[in-house]
Amino acid sequence: MSISIPSTAIRGRFLDIQNIVSQPSDIAEQVRYIEDGLLITEQGKIKWFGAWQDGQAQLSGHSELQHYPDQLIIPGFIDMHIHFPQTEMIGAYGEQLLQWLNNYTFPTEMQFEDKAYADQIAAFFVHELLKNGTTTAMVFCTVHPQSVDALFEAAAQYQMRLIAGKVMMDRHAPDALCDTAESAYQDSRQLIEKWHGKGRNLYAITPRFAPTSTPEQLARAGQLKAEFPGVYVHTHLSENKNEIAWVRELFPERSNYLDVYHHYGLTGERSVFAHCVHLEDAEWDCMHKTNSAIAFCPTSNLFLGSGLFPLSKSWEKQVRVGLGTDIGAGTSFCQLQTLNEAYKVQQLQGNQLSAFESLYHATLGGAAALQLDDQLGNFNVGKEADFVVLNLKATALQQLRQQRARTIEDALFALMTLGDERNIQATYIYGQKAYEQTI
């Protein structure tokens, strides 16, 4: 039985990127800015989009018109890498990756054995995504299958498009957080059958990272991917120098870190590798050849002292990149804050990340990195109607700065530098208002 979704019509200032590009210098010509625009949705999808004066006649008496005269409406933010169970441990002091996992992360994740607890955090997490204008996310759960149920159930309330999976982890972690090669395979398989392609949910096979899976478990993960080629693979890669040295010790027969995943059949066009801060040339080449994608997580890379992701190398090597908050190593749910730090990470490497390139990675580029650009990422007719209404002047300082913005690019850059969740006025999922700021 298909559910009827009310039609909506939104009038306002719209900004998006029309097409995928292969060089950052091509982005500016793909920018579409409509000062007085109209977007009409039907059954959650975009039915009409264009200038208000051309579209008025399209308005049927049934669609409710919402007018945002001073705001800026952009496609919903896409978060390519985030851990929902780590929401409560954001801002844990003083450690780099491997100690941080042992001291803070594993104890926190143990609590998700309790489904009621997982439900409570999942509801908080989904609301936090909406509050920050994020409409699609690729999410790590915990080793417990019930943590995946909790998340997909919470997202279904808003018909939100999420990609998520159960962590596979059978060594180098507390016993209470370890599965086995066999149980990880069976549990993941059941979850794929239960959730993948149900509503807007998609499943990701989720080995935590190479050090916490035995070769047998990675082989089982690869078997699952071969059996269900439409599902995603989501893991971590080359985040921290001690981690990389550990992988070399654990898998001496593999030529580099990525080669571990590649050997077990875990690279490919629906594979997302978080971080990739310290990739060697051979790994970049493998990322390109297998059409694998990267989640760039600047707030996390700075917070854990992991390093600086070389974004320009991803263009040079033609590897798709989206943006990840990586909560709880990352320090904000907000893609505006994430872009603020992304800019600085690039500045330290002599690369000036433009506002339009930032918008690209956070919307259409992220959708392309998830192989979802036929459904998400801009306002093209037929795509799913997920978008965010931004108030550019949420503080006195922003008001002062925005009054001086002469171009939409400058206004956007100032928003990305100064902005946070206070700038998210409303978030629409599948054409329906899922969040509105109330103060």
Binding site for ligand GUN (CB under 6 A): 83, 97, 101, 105, 208-209, 236, 239, 300, 326, 329
Report, in Å, the least distance between residue 414 CB and ligand GUN: 29
Q: Which of the listed partners (Zn ion, ligand GUN, none) does 144 bind, with a CB threshold of 5 to 8 Å by partner kind?
A: none
| Interaction of residue 326 with Zn ion, rule CB under 5 A | yes
Cβ proximity to ligand GUN: between 44 and 328 the closer is 328
| Interaction of residue 243 with Zn ion, rule CB under 5 A | no
CA triple 217-218-221, angle to 5 deg: 90
Cβ proximity to ligand GUN: between 60 and 249 the closer is 249
CA triple 374-376-379, angle to 5 deg: 100
SS (H, E, C) the chain: CCCCCCCEEEEEEEEEECCCCCCHHHCHHHEEEEEEEEEEEECCEEEEEEEHHHHHHHCCCCCEEEEEEEEEEEECEEEEEEEHHHHHHCCCCCCCHHHHHHHHHHHHHHHHHCHHHHHHHHHHHHHHHHHCCEEEEEEECCCCHHHHHHHHHHHHCCCCEEEEECEECCCCCCHHHCCCHHHHHHHHHHHHHHHCCCCCCEEEEEECCHHHCCHHHHHHHHHHHHHCCCCEEEEEECCCHHHHHHHHHHCCCCCCHHHHHHHCCCCCCCEEEEECCCCCHHHHHHHHHHCCEEEECHHHHHHCCCCCCCHHHHHHCCCEEEECCCCCCCCCCCHHHHHHHHHHHHHCCCCCCCHHHHHHHHCHHHHHHCCCCCCCCCCCCCCECCEEEECCCCCHHHHHHHHCCCCHHHHHHHHHHHCCHHHEEEEEECCEEEEECCC
Report, in Å, the least distance between residue 297 CB and ligand GUN: 7
Report, in Å, the least distance between residue 208 CB and ligand GUN: 5
Q: Which of the listed partners (Zn ion, ligand GUN, none) does 101 bind, with a CB threshold of 5 to 8 Å by partner kind?
A: ligand GUN
- Considering only the stretches 7-15, 179-187, 326-334, 363-371, report the one whose residues sit in contact with Zn ion under the rule CB under 5 A: 326-334
Cross-strand pairs, 50: 38
Q: Which of the listed partners (Zn ion, ligand GUN, none) does 210 bind, with a CB threshold of 5 to 8 Å by partner kind?
A: none
Report, in Å, the least distance between residue 307 CB and Zn ion: 15
| Interaction of residue 79 with Zn ion, rule CB under 5 A | no
Report, in Å, the least distance between residue 275 CB and ligand GUN: 7
Report, in Å, the least distance between residue 287 CB and ligand GUN: 18
Report, in Å, the least distance between residue 304 CB and ligand GUN: 6
Cβ proximity to Zn ion: between 83 and 200 the closer is 83
Cβ proximity to ligand GUN: between 300 and 380 the closer is 300
CA 151, distance to chain mean position in Å, is: 15
CA 395, distance to chain mean position in Å, is: 27
Report, in Å, the least distance between residue 295 CB and Zn ion: 8
Q: Which of the listed partners (Zn ion, ligand GUN, none) does 239 bind, with a CB threshold of 5 to 8 Å by partner kind?
A: ligand GUN
Neighbouring CB atoms inside 10 A of 190's CB total 13
Written as six digits, the tokens of 316 are: 């040079």
Cβ proximity to ligand GUN: between 92 and 405 the closer is 92
Q: Which of the listed partners (ligand GUN, Zn ion, none) does 105 bind, with a CB threshold of 5 to 8 Å by partner kind?
A: ligand GUN
Q: Which of the listed partners (ligand GUN, Zn ion, none) does 208 bind, with a CB threshold of 5 to 8 Å by partner kind?
A: ligand GUN
Cβ proximity to Zn ion: between 274 and 362 the closer is 274
Q: Which of the listed partners (Zn ion, ligand GUN, none) does 63 bind, with a CB threshold of 5 to 8 Å by partner kind?
A: none
Instruction: Give the footprint of Zn ion on residues 389-418 (CB under 5 A).
Output: none
Report, in Å, the least distance between residue 205 CB and ligand GUN: 15
CA dist 279 and 286 (Å) reads 10
Cβ proximity to ligand GUN: between 112 and 360 the closer is 112
Cβ proximity to ligand GUN: between 240 and 346 the closer is 240
- Considering only the stretches 58-66, 274-282, 362-370, 392-400, report the one whose residues sit in contact with Zn ion under the rule CB under 5 A: 274-282
Cβ proximity to ligand GUN: between 105 and 159 the closer is 105
Report, in Å, the least distance between residue 97 CB and ligand GUN: 6
Written as six digits, the tokens of 190 are: 């059941």
Cβ proximity to ligand GUN: between 97 and 168 the closer is 97
Cβ proximity to ligand GUN: between 245 and 381 the closer is 245
Prior bond of 328 cis (ω within 30°): yes
Report, in Å, the least distance between residue 144 CB and Zn ion: 17
Chain residues binding Zn ion by CB under 5 A are 274, 326
